Amino acid sequence: MHARLTLDSLAAATPDRRDLFSDLTLSVGTERVGIVGRNGSGKSTLLRIVAGEAEPSAGSVRLDGSVGTLRQEWPEAWTVAEALGVAEGLAVLERILAGQGRPYDLDRAEWMLETRVAASLADAGMAGLDLERTIAALSGGERTRVGIARLLIEAPDVLLLDEPTNNLDGDGRAAIHQLLHNWRGGALVASHDRALLETMDRIVELTPLGVRVVGGGWSRFAELRDAERQAAEAELARSAAALRTAGLDTQRQREAKQRRDKAGRTFAAKASEPKILLDARAGRAEASGGRLDRLGERRLAEAEARLADAARQVEVITPIAMDIPPSGIPSGAQLVAMDGVSVELPGRALGPWTLAISGPERVSVGGPNGSGKSTLLKLAAGATAPTTGTVRRADSRIVMLDQHIGLLDRSSTLLANHRRLNPSMSENEAYAACARFGFRNRDALRPVGTLSGGERLRAGLACTLGGDVPPWLLILDEPTNHLDIESVALLEQALQNYDGALLVVSHDPRFLDAIAVGRAMSLGGVIQARRPVLRRKGGR
C-alpha cells in the first residue's frame, strides 16, 4: 500500500509548552484511520499539523499529494456555488458561452466542471440543488452534504475530518458514513462517534502515556483497552501486596535483631567474657543492624515506587467513578404533561406536541436538525413558554443540562457554583458532594472555565444530582457532542446508576442503548416503543 502520508516521530505541545503527544510514527495509505483520545490530548492539533496549519514541536510530516478538510460552516450570504468553491470557474464558462470570454478565460476554463459539480452533488445526496441558493436557506444536514460535495469535487489525496458527526441528525451522519465508505484515498478521522470509529481500518490513541496504534475498528480497540485496564488494576493490587510484604519482612527482621541484641546484652551483663571480645561482638551487631536497616529501607522504597507507578497508570487509563445519590422519585409521580403544545418562532411554527412522563421513565426525542428538539426540551424544563397548549411539570424536581452546561458560571469555582445552586448545603457538604463526582480537595476550587468538556459535564452533574434536592427528571440536550469517548463512557455509567427519569436528545444510538431509553418520541407527537427499560442499579 502506497503511503500518502507519513508521520515520523511527531510531537506536539500547547502554546504554554505542555506536551500533548510525542513519538507518533505512522504511515497512512488508502485507508481510514481513527484518531481518539481524551479532550485536550491533541487530536485537533494533529489534524492541523497534517494540514500545514500548525507546526509540530518535533518530528516531521511527509505528504504525497493534497489534503482536504470537511467544511460545514460558511457565511450565511454565500451561495452554494461559492461554498463549493466553483463560483469563479462557473462564471468563466458562462462568459465564454455568452461570447464575452477573454483570452485568459480560455486558458483556465474547465470544460467538465458543470458535469463534475452535478455528479458530486448527486453523490452527496443533493442532486439538482440550485447553486444560487444561499447558505442561510440550508439546514445543518444540507450544509454538511454541500461540504461533502466540495470534497468530492476537490478529490484530495488525504481527507481530514475533525468530529464530523457533531450536531448532525441521522441523515447527516449517514452522509458522513457514505463519504468514508466510498473514499478512495487516505483519511484521518478524529471522532468520539463509536459507530463511525467502527468503520475504521486502524485506531490511533493519543494518551499521556504515549501513542498506541490498534488494527481494526472501535470494538477491537475497546477490547484491548479494557484488557489493559484490567492488567493495570491487577498490577496495582500486586504492587500494594508487595509493599505490605516488604513492610512485614522489614518489621520481622528488626524484631529478630532486637531479640538477638537483648540476648547479647544479657550475656554481656554476666561479664564472663573478656571486654575486647564483648566490644567486637557489639560492633558486629551494630554493623549487621545497619545493613538490615539499609536493606529494609531499600526494599520499602522500591515497593513504594512500584506502587506509585502502578497507581499513576491506573489513574491515567481508568475513568473516574461517580457516586450518585438516589433521587427518591415516587414510581407514579407525574413529571411532565404537555397537551397540544406549539411554539411560534420567526418564520416558522413548531408543534403541536403531546408528551407525558411519569415515574422513572427514560424518553428520547428524535428528528432532523431544525425540527425543534431543543425547543421541546426547554418547554419541558420551563425555560420556554408555549404559544398554544398547556404544560404541567414538577417544577422543583426538574433540571436541564444543555450542551454547554449553561447553568454553571464559568468565572466561578465549582464549589462556588455548587453552593449557589444548592444554598441550603454547608461548605463541607458541598465539598463532599463535589468529591462524590471526582472533584476532590483542590479540584473543587478550579474555575469552571478551566475545565474540559467532560469535566464541565461532570461538574454540572455534581451540582444537580449531588445537590440538596436531587432532581426526579434530568433533561439532557445532545450531552455527548463535546465529550471524548472516555467521558461518554463515564456519563453512560453515571446515568445507568441514576434512578430518576430522563428526557434526552441524542443522535447517538449507542448512547441511548447504554442508558436504557425505553421510549422514542418523534416531533410529530408519536411515542414509539424503543426497547424495554432495563432495571438499573439503585432503581425502583
- Taking 60 as the threshold, does the pLDDT of residue 525 lie above it? no
Mark whether 83 and 111 lie in a shared domain.
yes
- CB atoms inside a 10 Å sphere around CB 223: 12
Please report whether residue 517 resides in a domain. yes
What is the four-CA torsion angle of 496, 499, 503, 509, rounded to 10 degrees?
20
Mark whether 341 and 313 lie in a shared domain.
no
Q: What is the pLDDT of residues 236-276, one digit of tens each?
A: 677 777 767 767 777 777 767 667 666 666 655 555 556 55
- Quick one: which H or E segment has residue 364? strand 362-365
Mean pLDDT of the chain: 83
Please report whether residue 276 resides in a domain. yes
The answer to whether residues 401 and 479 touch, using CB atoms and an 8 Å cutoff, is yes
User: Which residue from 148, 79, 92 is spatially nearest to 119, judged by alpha carbons?
Assistant: 148
- Mean pLDDT value of segment 173-177: 86
Mark whether 238 and 93 lie in a shared domain.
no
- Mean pLDDT value of segment 300-314: 61
Mark whether 211 and 245 lie in a shared domain.
no
Q: What is the pLDDT of residue 526?
A: 43
Please report whether residue 534 resides in a domain. no
What do you get for the CA distance between the two ends of the chain, in Å?
56
Q: What is the pLDDT of residue 266?
A: 63
- Mean pLDDT value of segment 90-94: 85
- Taking 70 as the threshold, does the pLDDT of residue 58 lie above it? yes
Mark whether 208 and 288 lie in a shared domain.
no
Mark whether 166 and 100 lie in a shared domain.
yes
- CB atoms inside a 10 Å sphere around CB 157: 17
Cα(437)–Cα(424) distance, rounded to whole angstroms?
A: 19
Mark whether 237 and 220 lie in a shared domain.
no
Cα(532)–Cα(383) distance, rounded to whole angstroms?
A: 30
Please report whether residue 325 resides in a domain. no
Mark whether 369 and 305 lie in a shared domain.
no
- 496 phi and psi angles, rounded to 5 deg: -65, -35
- CB atoms inside a 10 Å sphere around CB 121: 23
Q: In 472-482, which positions are buried (b, 16+ CB within 10 angstroms) versus exposed (e)?
A: bbbbbbbbbbb
> Cell for 33?
484511520
Cα(415)–Cα(462) distance, rounded to whole angstroms?
A: 10
- Taking 60 as the threshold, does the pLDDT of residue 528 lie above it? no
Q: Which CATH number is 53's domain given?
A: 3.40.50.300
Residue at a domain's end among 199, 224, 249: 224
Cα(204)–Cα(215) distance, rounded to whole angstroms?
A: 9
Q: What three-state secondary structure class fits 89? A: helix
**Which residues are paired to 32 by β-bridges?**
187
| Number of domains composing the chain | 3
Angle CA 479–482–488, to nearest 5 = 60
> Cell for 22?
510525542
Q: What three-state secondary structure class fits 314? A: helix
Cα(480)–Cα(507) distance, rounded to whole angstroms?
A: 9
Q: What three-state secondary structure class fits 76? A: coil
- For 523, half-sphere exposure in the C-beta direction (CA atoms, 13 angstrom radius) is 18
Please report whether residue 537 resides in a domain. no
Mark whether 238 and 207 lie in a shared domain.
no
Residue at a domain's end among 224, 248, 278: 224
Q: Please name the residue ranges forming H helices in 318-394.
A: 373-381
User: Which residue from 90, 199, 78 is spatially nearest to 143, judged by alpha carbons?
Assistant: 78
* Position 26 confidence tier, pLDDT thresholds 50, 70, 90: very high
Mark whether 214 and 261 lie in a shared domain.
no
Cα(146)–Cα(330) distance, rounded to whole angstroms?
A: 49
> Cell for 121?
452533488
Residue at a domain's end among 317, 347, 381: 317
Q: What is the pLDDT of residues 367-382, one digit of tens each?
A: 877 788 889 999 999 9
Q: What is the pLDDT of residues 437-462, one digit of tens each?
A: 888 888 899 999 888 777 888 899 89
Please report whether residue 326 resides in a domain. no
Please report whether residue 518 resides in a domain. yes
**Which residues are paired to 274 by β-bridges?**
none
Burial of 507 (0-12, 13-18, 19+ CB in 10 A): buried
- Mean pLDDT value of segment 404-413: 91
Mark whether 20 and 160 lie in a shared domain.
yes
138 is in which domain, residue-wise?
A: 5-224
The answer to whether residues 316 and 489 touch, using CB atoms and an 8 Å cutoff, is no
Tell me which of 237 and 29 has the higher pLDDT. 29
User: Which residue from 400, 382, 398, 401 is spatially nearest to 335, judged by alpha carbons?
Assistant: 398
Q: What is the pLDDT of residue 534?
A: 40
Please report whether residue 115 resides in a domain. yes
Angle CA 118–122–125, to nearest 5 = 145
Mark whether 253 and 348 lie in a shared domain.
no
